[in-house]
Structure 1
Amino acid sequence: MVNFAKKLKNRKKEIIIDPIKIYESLDRQTTKVGPLRKAQIQVLKEWFEKRLRDKDIILKLNTGAGKTLIGLLILESKLHQRIIQKEQSYGIEVFLCNNNNLVMQTIEQAKLFGINAVTINTNNEIPSEVINGEKILITSVQKFFNGKSIFEHTDSPEIDTIIIDDAHTSAELIKQSCTLTITKEENAQLYTDLFYLVSDGLQSQGEGTFEDLKNNITSDDSAFLPVPYWTWIDKVQKITQLIASRANLSTELKFVWPILENSLSWCNCIVSANSIEITSLKYPIDFYTKFTNANQRVFMSATTASDAVLINDLGVSESAIKHPLIYPDEKWSGEKMVIIPSLISADFTRGSMVHLFGSQKPKHFGITIIVPGYYRSHDWKKYGALVGESNILQDALKKFSNNDFQSPLVLVNRYDGIDLPDDETRILILDSLPNSTSLFDKYIDDVIPDGSEVILRKAQKIEQGMGRSVRADTDYSAILFIGSDLVRFIRNPKFQQYFSKQTLTQIKIGIDISKDAKSEYEESKLDTSGNNEMKPLIELIGQSLKRDEDWKEFYKEQMGEINYSQKPSQNVSLIVNKNKIMELAIDPTSNIEKFTETVQEFIDEFCPTAEEKGWYLQLLAHVTYKYSKSKARNYQVAAYKRNHKLLLPDNLNPVKRIEPLIAQKRLENIINQVKTYKTFENLQNTVNEITSNLSFGTERKKFEKSMDELGKILGFETDRPDENYKKGPDNLWSVKDDLYFIIEDKSEVLESRDKIYKEETGQMNNSTAWFEENYPGIRYRALMVIPTKYPDSAGGFNSDVRIIRSHSLKLLKKNFINFTREFRTLDFSSLSADQVSKFVVIHKLEVDKFIDNYSEKYYR
């Protein structure tokens, strides 16, 4: 063997620390990887020359621009720097991925570039080559962030640099690591013990929902109740004992309990029929000391993502958010033809789109649908689409990657983490507005649905969903928005400010071309030669898929006009200041007077609505409770008065009666309500959303809200006693001067159900009793919305109750739609009571005929 070492003129080998030069020196597999791209060079140069010592860095590049390689080169540079400065304790270099599959992919990618990388060994230990500074460690977010993390052992090494790939998805995973979820499936006895321990507090926040949870009538997490903080804190010692007794015996507990065991008083607790969720007021990211103390933390993010939420979620610095590491010449990536079918025609409803695309049998490309929950997947499945449930999802994705497109694929709440580029998805459909997944996030959505951070996170999910099908500069797809709630959201000027400039431009292009297609649709209706009403929509999609040159040029022209010099508002100041008060909230050493002052200042500056003011007053009450119960109650009363969806204080009777309705006032109400929509298109979108939600299988909150909105458009005075006062019926309508409708909604009951359960008849009896107590001597009709009219023999109604079953509900929706269509050509500013009165009669919506038209007697 030739000894080349002897032949070297200079035996001393230079150690390179410049990441660009490192790449040039690597033993790369050059047939598979080429030189660095311009964007990669620029970003690495900026990092090495100016950002080397920054604590936090947000690395933002378009999807497919090579962020992973940049991250690996940063860590390789740090390894080399450690060799030069071996006297200093640099710590290890860590790259985190979202799951184990991505860990293995990233290790393989590192090998292609000639970068030495390993993962956690089979003994669940950090390899010695990593500790010795010889190799980069690549592992998963889940392995790093858990209550028994090997990185938090006393003898575990410090961290020099940690890089988190896909920071927003990682943040959600990290939040899950800090959330204690006790499921009935795995910990039935603990669930039951805790449920009954806090049952007095639960019942005070919603008697009807409490009965559903107690009797296991609801089978999912759509029905839930918050445990009042006063109940929680008063019983926290017993709660701690119960959980601690099971913590080491249960997989779902042992990896989270160490994080929360000493801070339960500063936690929220939400209870559903399936689980109990315990969440800290602020996610305790400081538990992970090696993460918080790392010399440098690099968070990789797509250019469309709003990074401000990472301040709360991961403790990222304000400076990093405001000054991301970017390629300044980078613009937009890929081509997205956004289409909004309902703007082309009122007939292109969500239902018609599900029928059209769900029944397709594509051969040459994939059709992918993203729905917010399983409740939105059933009709897709009925028409032939494959629902990607967890047990079959990987096989379905593998078929798509092998160009096997037998049917459309429905992804349930998978707005990130799944990439379907090129032919794997040429038509992407976002069906309905994204939902929250955790119980606490669902609670926030319920009590402050228009809160700034709530809207920001929804906009972020929509952007993430849009990114599933376009993963590179040369990629393209048609993206359809269906579902009236989603369409209303993306068209709301108040909400549009939360989208990135790229996404907002794409949405505006979509609105523009959808309206252009509308004129073609009108022309197609005049053509009686065949069934061609879908032609304008199909042709528009075809212009993307068939690579119409004019469309491509138009898209480039529009996207090229984006002004990137003006940074988009990310509500950074709001979230920075919120983060400060949340840090004070969980700090047991903080001064309560200072905390009170800080919260009041935050409310004054950042809370424009009564609902948000109430939310932060409730936080103030929660923190104050341990210091002064009387002050806490005063704050809670103030919070509740601003927002009736918040916790109802004990011994407070908040019922505000709705006044009787005279006939003429009903007509005035209809006119005034219609005027609030300003245009028929806005009215139509609302009506579509209402009628879509008024179907069996819909989540109860959405159903009840839509029933309330239906009543308002029909001119009635409405209330939601169970929502607002925690007692009484789901909906209450004042329909004429001497009559009220009491409505109990059972929207989640399966249409195959043959009996009304005893507990459900009991709820109706409680609702009528509530009405008689709060509206003494007033006449009422009781209505239950449920698929069956046969009460269980063990139960029964105490008064005459009418049943609204599926066929009656469909007839009511049909007549309601036709009623609102009468306003299509009218000037909303000059509506007359005579006109509206005729519409009410024509479409059979008179009060005196309502009961007979839309309900039936129950079978005794």
Structure 2
Amino acid sequence: MVDFAKKIKNKEKKILTNPIEIYEALDRQTEKVGSLRPAQIRVLNEWFKKRLNDHDVILKLNTGAGKTLVGLLMLETKLHLKSYNDEPNYGIEIFLCNNRNLVFQTMRQAKQFGINVDTITPDNEIPIEVINGEKILVTSVQRFFNGKSIFEHSNELEIDTIVIDDAHRSAELIKQSCEIKITKKNNAQLYTDLFNLLSDGLESQGEGTFAELKNNSGGYDSSYLPVPYWTWIDKIKEITNLIADKIDTSELRFVWPIVKDHLEECDCIIAGSSIEIKSLKFPIEFYTKYVHAKQRVFMSATTASDSILISDLGINDKAVKEPLIDPNEKWSGEKMVIIPSLISDKYSRQQMVKNFGKAKIKKFGVTVLVPGYYKTGDWEKYGAVIGTTDKLQESLKKFDDGEFSSPLVLVNRYDGMDLADDKTRILILDSLPTTESLFDKYISDVIPNGAEVILRTAQKIEQGMGRSVRADTDYSIVIFIGSDLVRFVRNPRFQQYFSGQTLAQIKIGISTSNDAKSEYKESEKIDYNPLFDLMKQSINRNEDWKEYYKEQMERVDYSETLPKDLDFLVKKNKIMEMIVDPIVKIEKLTQRLQDFIDNYCSLSEEKGFYLQLLARATYNYSKSQSTKYQTAAYKKNHSLLLPNSINPVEKINPLIAAKRIDNIINQVKSYKNFENFMNAANEIFSSLSFGTKSKTFEMAIDELGKILGFETDRPDEFYKKGPDHLWAVKENLYYLIEDKSEDSESRDKINKAETGQMNNSVAWFKQNYPGSKYIPIMVIPTKYPDPAGGFNDDVRIMRKKSLNLLKNNFINFVKEFRTLDFSSLSNGQVLNFISVHQLEVDKFIMTYSEPYYK
């Protein structure tokens, strides 16, 4: 064997430390990987020369620009630097992926690049080559972030640099690692024990919902109640003992070490089949190795807003303000956004679902993103494939193999799915994204227009839009359906929360959709030509469309990178740190929180939310002062916790006929123009269907009542007692309405808890409105009470057929205003519209309801 070492003239071995030079020297598989791209070179040079010692770095590159290689090269550079400085024990280098499949994929890519990597052994140990600084460790977020992590149990182990792929998705996984979720399915006894222990506090926050939870009659965790903090704190010892007795179960084993000493600083929400317990502030400090890593690199898409990572991952605001970017990189790929309802109001969600659900397209894939399973029923009815756990992999494999036919419907998969090129040429976002966890639902329900809620919703929309375009040369049509989604993307206030690239695409979509409106031809049949003609210009690669898109996207100012509401989130994070600090000075916290509310909360609902946090923080110091804060919070936002000290019922006045007409005219005028009015009506229409989430359905019923001119109230929401809705419809007559919107259309009985709930609502009405007349109405798919229960009154039932009739008559009533001047509406016109569409009070009950079966 030839000894080449003897033939080397320069015996001194040079250790490369520049990432560009390191890459050029790697033993790459040249047939699979080539040279570094210009964008990669620019960000690596910037990092090496100026950001090498920064604690936090956010790396932002367009999808498909090669972030994985950049992250691996950063870690490889750190290995070289340790060798160059003779510091082998300076700490290990780690690359974290979202799941096991991505771990294996990253390791395969690293091998192609010639980068030495390894992963945790089957014996749950870190390979010695990683510890010795010879290899990079590639593992999953779940293996690193859990209460029994091997990284936290090694005192000697230090981390030099940690790279986290897809930081926003990783943040969600990391937060889940710190939250307790107890399910009836896996922990029935613990669920029952906690429910019983906390039941007095729960019932005070909603008697009807409590009855649903107690009898497990509220559907799929749609009904929930927050445990009042005063109940939680007062019973914390009993709570701790109950949970500690079950810590060996799968749901508690890996999270208990994180929260066991901080349960008092947690909130709790209970639903029909699960309980969630979550710290007021995400306890990232438990992960000391992560916190004290010498450098943390977070990889993020250019369209993502990174400011929420301040609270989610404890990133410093400097990294958010100054991300590592390629200054020459602008937009990536082509997205033709289309909003069908802007072309014609006949292009409703229902028509789009019917049209695309039945489509059999062989040349490419059609993918639909829906927020939850409650939106899949009509898609499935028309032939779409629902991506349930058992069907998803099979469907994705067909896409990979180029086998296309029926649309694929993905449920709440706004991130983590790459469906590039022909896998998805038509992407449909159906309705506004919603949240998964009970806590996220609660926040969305109590402050639906809060800055952080809007920011996270905008981020989900952007993530969803990115599923189908994964490279510069990729293209896709992105269709928005569902009036709630359309209203969101068109709202000027909400548009501020989108990235410049995404907002430009949305504005192009609004403009082109409006342009196509003039091509629509009114007839008995729906004219789909304007929509299809527009879509063909993308699918057939029309050169004028491509040039127009490029021209518009190049006008965007990509130099503006400062995230929206960054200062708000920084200040909020500091406030939350004070709230969970056991030795905080309450006077200082009170002043800081009040300043925060005054300077950063413009909405009454948001001010109330933070006042409730102040009330909670004050509880252990002064219960009377806490009650004052909670009362003030509740007065600003009736969706918050109801304090025990007040009786908040504010009666609504009886309605006279003339006042109803005035109410309708004022309500119509509040929308400014017919387009806004029609969008609001369409949102109500689409929300009033069985299978819709209760909060959404209840808001729609309330808005329906207002547009119909009635005086409305939501006693169960605002006062935690009474019916879901109370409508004053004429002098001394009220409708008491209970909604059961999430129930299956195929159910055959009204259960005992539901009849009891209606009876309790009637009793509440009699107590608070003595002498007034009432008609109780239950919106539910069946009219047959369970023999075990029964109504005390002649309750009217609104089933699917009656509900649909009301919806259709309502939408036709709204359409009457299409050509009218909103500033000069007359009483006579409105009275005529009410009569034509069967919306008179005297006919309402007989037209839209029926007696229950006796």
Cα distance in 2 for partners of 1:181, 1:789 equals 36
Q: Does 2:735 align with 1:741?
A: yes
Q: CA offset at residue 154 of structure 1?
A: 3.3
Q: CA offset at residue 657 of structure 1?
A: 0.6
**Over aligned residue pairs, what C-alpha RMSD do you find?**
1.0
Cα distance in 1 for partners of 2:695, 2:115 equals 52
Cα distance in 1 for partners of 2:406, 2:786 equals 42
Q: Which residue of 2 aligns with 1:210?
A: 210
* 1:102 counterpart letter in structure 2: L
Moved more, 446-455 or 84-93: 84-93
Q: CA offset at residue 594 of structure 1?
A: 1.0
Q: CA offset at residue 567 of structure 1?
A: 3.4
Q: CA offset at residue 516 of structure 1?
A: 1.0
Cα distance in 2 for partners of 1:108, 1:626 equals 54
Q: CA offset at residue 391 of structure 1?
A: 2.2
Q: Does 2:577 align with 1:583?
A: yes
Aligned residues: 854
Q: Does 2:646 align with 1:647?
A: no
Distance 1:643 1:532, change over 3 A: closer
Q: CA offset at residue 87 of structure 1?
A: 4.2
Q: Which residue of 2 aligns with 1:242?
A: 242
Q: Which residue of 2 aligns with 1:849?
A: 843
Q: Which residue of 2 aligns with 1:802?
A: 796
* Conserved? CA contact 2:343–2:520, under 8 Å: yes
Cα distance in 2 for partners of 1:154, 1:24 equals 36
Give unmatched runs, 5+ long, in structure 1.
none
Q: Which residue of 1 aligns with 2:356?
A: 357
Alignment partner of 1:782: what SS?
strand
The within-5 A match list for 1:598-747 is 598-747=592-741
* Conserved? CA contact 1:367–1:426, under 8 Å: yes
Alignment partner of 2:692: what SS?
coil
Q: Which residue of 2 aligns with 1:138?
A: 138
Q: Deviations over 1:553-597 (max 9, x none)?
A: 000000010012333542100000000001111111221111111
Q: Deviations over 1:470-522 (max 9, x none)?
A: 00000000000000000000000110000001111100000011011111113
Q: CA offset at residue 88 of structure 1?
A: 7.2
Cα distance in 2 for partners of 1:87, 1:690 equals 65
Alignment partner of 1:11: what SS?
coil
Q: Which residue of 1 aligns with 2:498?
A: 499
Cα distance in 2 for partners of 1:562, 1:748 equals 43
Cα distance in 1 for partners of 2:461, 2:428 equals 11
Q: Does 2:436 align with 1:442?
A: no
Alignment partner of 2:689: what SS?
coil
Q: Does 2:533 align with 1:539?
A: yes
Q: Which residue of 1 aligns with 2:378?
A: 379
Q: Does 2:148 align with 1:148?
A: yes
* Conserved? CA contact 1:432–1:483, under 8 Å: yes
Alignment partner of 1:21: what SS?
helix
Moved more, 419-428 or 155-164: 155-164
* 2:785 counterpart letter in structure 1: P
Cα distance in 2 for partners of 1:775, 1:752 equals 36
* Conserved? CA contact 1:150–1:156, under 8 Å: no
Q: CA offset at residue 538 of structure 1?
A: 1.1
Distance 1:51 1:615, change over 3 A: same
Alignment partner of 2:332: what SS?
coil
The within-5 A match list for 1:824-843 is 824-843=818-837
Cα distance in 2 for partners of 1:626, 1:156 equals 39
Q: Deviations over 1:260-310 (max 9, x none)?
A: 110011111000011000000011000000000000000000000000000
Distance 1:532 1:492, change over 3 A: closer
The within-5 A match list for 1:87-98 is 87=87, 89-98=89-98
Cα distance in 2 for partners of 1:569, 1:24 equals 36
Moved more, 684-693 or 285-294: 684-693
Q: CA offset at residue 749 of structure 1?
A: 1.8
Alignment partner of 1:561: what SS?
coil
Q: CA offset at residue 461 of structure 1?
A: 0.1
Alignment partner of 2:163: what SS?
strand
Alignment partner of 1:478: what SS?
strand
Alignment partner of 1:759: what SS?
helix
Distance 1:614 1:287, change over 3 A: same
Q: CA offset at residue 155 of structure 1?
A: 3.3
Q: Deviations over 1:786-817 (max 9, x none)?
A: 11112122211111211111111111111101
Cα distance in 2 for partners of 1:555, 1:533 equals 26
Q: Which residue of 2 aligns with 1:345?
A: 344
Cα distance in 2 for partners of 1:466, 1:107 equals 28
Tell me the TM-score normalised to structure 1 length: 0.98
Q: Does 2:286 align with 1:287?
A: yes
Q: CA offset at residue 404 of structure 1?
A: 1.3
Q: CA offset at residue 89 of structure 1?
A: 4.2
* Conserved? CA contact 2:88–2:133, under 8 Å: no
Q: CA offset at residue 689 of structure 1?
A: 0.9
Q: Which residue of 2 aligns with 1:265?
A: 264
Distance 1:87 1:27, change over 3 A: closer
Give unmatched runs, 5+ long, in structure 2.
none
Cα distance in 2 for partners of 1:52, 1:647 equals 48
Alignment partner of 2:428: what SS?
strand
Alignment partner of 2:191: what SS?
helix
Q: CA offset at residue 219 of structure 1?
A: 3.0
> Of the candidates 784, 788, 801, which is equivalent to residue 782 of structure 2?
788
Q: Does 2:164 align with 1:164?
A: yes
Cα distance in 2 for partners of 1:398, 1:140 equals 24
Distance 1:124 1:156, change over 3 A: farther
Q: Which residue of 2 aligns with 1:517?
A: 516
Moved more, 132-141 or 622-631: 622-631
Q: Deviations over 1:794-850 (max 9, x none)?
A: 211111211111111111111101100000001111111111111111111011111
Query: Sequence identity of aligned pairs in percent?
Result: 67
* Conserved? CA contact 1:501–1:568, under 8 Å: no
* 1:218 counterpart letter in structure 2: G
Moved more, 585-594 or 32-41: 585-594
Q: CA offset at residue 737 of structure 1?
A: 1.4
* 2:720 counterpart letter in structure 1: K
* 1:26 counterpart letter in structure 2: L
* Conserved? CA contact 1:277–1:439, under 8 Å: yes
Cα distance in 2 for partners of 1:588, 1:512 equals 54
* Conserved? CA contact 2:750–2:782, under 8 Å: yes
Q: Deviations over 1:121-145 (max 9, x none)?
A: 1111111100000000000001100
* Conserved? CA contact 2:321–2:562, under 8 Å: no
Q: Which residue of 1 aligns with 2:191?
A: 191
Alignment partner of 1:269: what SS?
strand
* 1:223 counterpart letter in structure 2: S
Q: Which residue of 2 aligns with 1:399?
A: 398
Alignment partner of 2:162: what SS?
strand
Cα distance in 1 for partners of 2:650, 2:281 equals 35
Cα distance in 1 for partners of 2:43, 2:650 equals 60
Alignment partner of 1:2: what SS?
coil
Q: Which residue of 1 aligns with 2:10?
A: 10
Cα distance in 2 for partners of 1:331, 1:116 equals 32
Q: Deviations over 1:107-127 (max 9, x none)?
A: 000000100001111111111
Which aligned runs of 4 or more in structure 1 are off by greater than 4 angstroms?
Answer: none
Q: Does 2:752 align with 1:762?
A: no
Tell me the TM-score normalised to structure 2 length: 0.99
Cα distance in 2 for partners of 1:834, 1:480 equals 40
Alignment partner of 1:301: what SS?
strand
Q: CA offset at residue 354 of structure 1?
A: 0.5
Cα distance in 1 for partners of 2:99, 2:784 equals 50
Cα distance in 1 for partners of 2:60, 2:404 equals 33
> Of the candidates 746, 749, 752, which is equivalent to residue 752 of structure 1?
746
Distance 1:415 1:156, change over 3 A: farther
Q: CA offset at residue 666 of structure 1?
A: 0.5
